[in-house]
């Protein structure tokens, strides 16, 4: 795999005919936010004849609007005046702090403790599912411009934390019979070799973890590097690991991040999907709805139908989080709802397993169920799909229909509605 970031990314863009002006924007934005592509993304996914408006280009390459104007201008001037690297670095760090690097208090609020010590690299927010962030899996085969975990890729995150200890994590899970799902996440756990992944996963097959029924793997490797499951040297070992988990009685769920129907089109991804399914693992697909990339209902209808046809199950449509480049990728909640509803109307029930739009907010996963007018007031009808407090799962509530709202924190209770916290 050839990877391109920073100056190599600029040279790549130059070689593909991007303008000098764009290359300057690229250098400024990528001095603050992380960008990385590889040869598969460049050669198989991006349609260069349509760049810069091509959706996969928009997904993976910098754009000046990804930074707030004052931050962009400041760094742009520093670069034009050939500022010292230390000065640029300091400006980039200041910029990180202004871009909400740790949204949703995800770390501080969700790290469990065992014998009075914090279990670093683990999150346990919803009773039935424990998230595990293996230290070796905290990068990806390429980066999405909208990533809500961007801060960990620039080394400035609470999440960039001490390596979790497998034995310690499994002892914690063994002691909690409510945990039915382990979710290996990152970054991307598929960036790890099969041998390293095995050290994380095999302990979950022990008899003390009989109550763990499902092993999930959150990954974008099917989109960004499908060779992980086909021609990589240890691709077969990886698939054997899935098979062993299935044979041990676990449900194996590959939680695949698919952003755009283009990602399903190459012969390589189709072969990768076929091979994963042959292990007995099930592929479920999710992604955020984002401006410039996938904010048309046709994109989602085509994606969901395509997923069904290759045997993958549409799962969540997320709302872009309030962090990093949200100013560029974010769409108003009313627009996200419109895209979802129009897409659902174009597909049969088999593709309507996708739920959305969903916000992973501090109290839980909040579904925007619809809009309506109650007693003369226009409202969003919302529902808790997940909650830190299991008693709140399924609760419905109402918020004022604010056409500009892009995130949960922009919403206010309507008509005296209950509100999660």
Q: What angle do CA 92, 132, 220 make, to 5 degrees?
A: 65
Q: Does 180 bind ligand PLP (CB under 6 A)?
A: no
Among 188, 232, 263, 406, binds ligand SF4 (CB under 6 A): 188
Nearer to ligand SF4, 34 or 363 (CB): 34
What is the closest distance, in whole angstroms, from the C-beta atom of residue 34 to ligand SF4 in the complex?
8
Residue 235 token pair: 């691709």
Nearer to ligand PLP, 30 or 360 (CB): 360
Element (H, E) at 272: helix 267-278
Name the packing angle between helices 20-29 and 6-15 (round to 10°).
160
Q: Are 192 and 182 in contact (CB under 8 A)?
A: no
Element (H, E) at 182: strand 181-184
Cα 246 to Cα 202: distance, rounded to the nearest angstrom: 12
Nearer to ligand PLP, 229 or 316 (CB): 316
Compute the chain's Rg from CA coordinates. 21
Cα 250 to Cα 353: distance, rounded to the nearest angstrom: 22
What is the closest distance, in whole angstroms, from the C-beta atom of residue 302 to ligand PLP in the complex?
24
Choices 24-32, 62-70, 124-132, 204-212 (CB under 6 A): range interacting with ligand PLP: 124-132
Which residues inside 295-334 make contact with ligand PLP, applying CB under 6 A?
A: none
Among 63, 96, 149, 250, binds ligand SF4 (CB under 6 A): 149
Residue 306 token pair: 């395509």
Choices 143-151, 292-300, 311-319, 362-370 (CB under 6 A): range interacting with ligand SF4: 143-151
Choices 25-33, 90-98, 109-117, 186-194 (CB under 6 A): range interacting with ligand SF4: 186-194
Provide the pairing of β-strand 396-400 with 3-4.
unpaired
Burial of 366 (0-12, 13-18, 19+ CB in 10 A): buried
Nearer to ligand SF4, 259 or 387 (CB): 259
Element (H, E) at 328: helix 326-329
Strand ranges (DSSP E) for 197-236? 214-219
Please name the residue that has the structure tokens 């670069």.
Answer: 79
Q: Cα dihedral angle (338, 341, 342, 343), rounded to 10 degrees? A: 120
Nearer to ligand SF4, 188 or 263 (CB): 188
Nearer to ligand SF4, 129 or 139 (CB): 139
Cα 212 to Cα 181: distance, rounded to the nearest angstrom: 6
Cα 345 to Cα 338: distance, rounded to the nearest angstrom: 11
Q: Does 126 bind ligand PLP (CB under 6 A)?
A: yes
- Contacts of residue 6, defined as CB under 8 A and 6 or more positions apart, other chains included, come to 30, 35
Choices 75-83, 137-145, 194-202, 304-312 (CB under 6 A): range interacting with ligand SF4: 137-145
What is the closest distance, in whole angstroms, from the C-beta atom of residue 89 to ligand SF4 in the complex?
22
Q: Which does 125 bind (CB under 5 to 8 A by kind): ligand SF4, ligand PLP, none?
A: ligand PLP
Nearer to ligand SF4, 188 or 299 (CB): 188
Q: Does 221 bind ligand SF4 (CB under 6 A)?
A: no
Choices 69-77, 126-134, 244-252, 371-379 (CB under 6 A): range interacting with ligand PLP: 126-134
Choices 88-96, 123-131, 153-161, 305-313 (CB under 6 A): range interacting with ligand PLP: 123-131
Nearer to ligand PLP, 226 or 314 (CB): 314
Q: Are 120 and 159 in contact (CB under 8 A)?
A: no
Burial of 410 (0-12, 13-18, 19+ CB in 10 A): middle
Nearer to ligand PLP, 275 or 321 (CB): 321
Which residues in this chain contact ligand SF4 in the complex, by CB under 6 A? 140, 143-144, 147, 149, 186-188, 220, 257
Which residues in this chain contact ligand PLP in the complex, by CB under 6 A? 123, 125-126, 129, 131, 183, 360, 365, 386
């Amino acid at each position: 795999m050839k990877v391109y970031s920073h100056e190599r990314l600029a040279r790549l863009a130059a070689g593909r005919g991007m303008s000098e002006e764009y290359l300057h924007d690229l250098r400024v934005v990528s001095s603050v936010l992380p960008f990385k592509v590889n040869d598969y993304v460049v050669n198989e996914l991006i349609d260069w004849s349509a760049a810069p408006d091509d959706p996969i280009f928009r997904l993976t390459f910098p754009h000046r609007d990804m930074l707030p104007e004052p931050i962009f201008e400041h760094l742009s001037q520093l670069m034009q005046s050939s500022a010292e690297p230390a000065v640029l670095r300091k400006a980039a760090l200041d910029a990180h702090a202004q871009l909400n690097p740790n949204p949703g208090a995800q770390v501080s609020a969700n790290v469990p403790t065992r014998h009075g010590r914090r279990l670093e690299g683990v999150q346990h927010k919803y009773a039935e599912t424990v998230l595990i962030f293996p230290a070796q899996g905290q990068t990806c085969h390429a980066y999405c411009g909208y990533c809500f975990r961007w801060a960990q890729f620039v080394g400035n995150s609470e999440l960039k934390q001490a390596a979790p200890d497998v034995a310690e994590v499994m002892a914690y899970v063994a002691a909690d019979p409510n945990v039915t799902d382990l979710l290996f996440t990152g970054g991307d756990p598929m960036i790890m070799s099969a041998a390293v992944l095995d050290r994380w996963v095999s302990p979950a097959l022990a008899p003390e973890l009989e109550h763990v029924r499902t092993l999930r793997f959150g990954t974008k490797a099917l989109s960004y590097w499908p060779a992980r499951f086909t021609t990589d040297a240890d691709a077969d070992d990886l698939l054997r690991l899935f098979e062993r988990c299935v044979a041990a009685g676990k449900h194996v769920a590959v939680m695949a991040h698919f952003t755009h129907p283009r990602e399903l089109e190459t012969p390589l991804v189709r072969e990768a999907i076929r091979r994963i399914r042959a292990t007995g693992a099930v592929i479920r697909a999710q992604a955020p709805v984002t401006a410039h990339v996938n904010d048309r209902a046709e994109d989602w209808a085509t994606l969901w139908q395509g997923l069904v046809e290759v045997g993958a199950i549409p799962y969540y449509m997320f709302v872009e989080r309030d962090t990093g480049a949200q100013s560029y990728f974010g769409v108003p909640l009313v627009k996200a709802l419109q895209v979802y509803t129009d897409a659902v109307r174009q597909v049969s029930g088999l593709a309507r397993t996708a739920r959305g739009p969903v916000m992973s907010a501090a109290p839980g996963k909040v579904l925007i169920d619809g809009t309506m007018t109650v007693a003369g007031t226009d409202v969003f009808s919302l529902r808790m799909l997940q909650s830190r407090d299991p008693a709140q799962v399924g609760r419905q509530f109402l918020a004022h229909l604010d056409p500009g709202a892009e995130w949960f924190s922009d919403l206010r209770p309507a008509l005296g509605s209950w509100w999660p916290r």
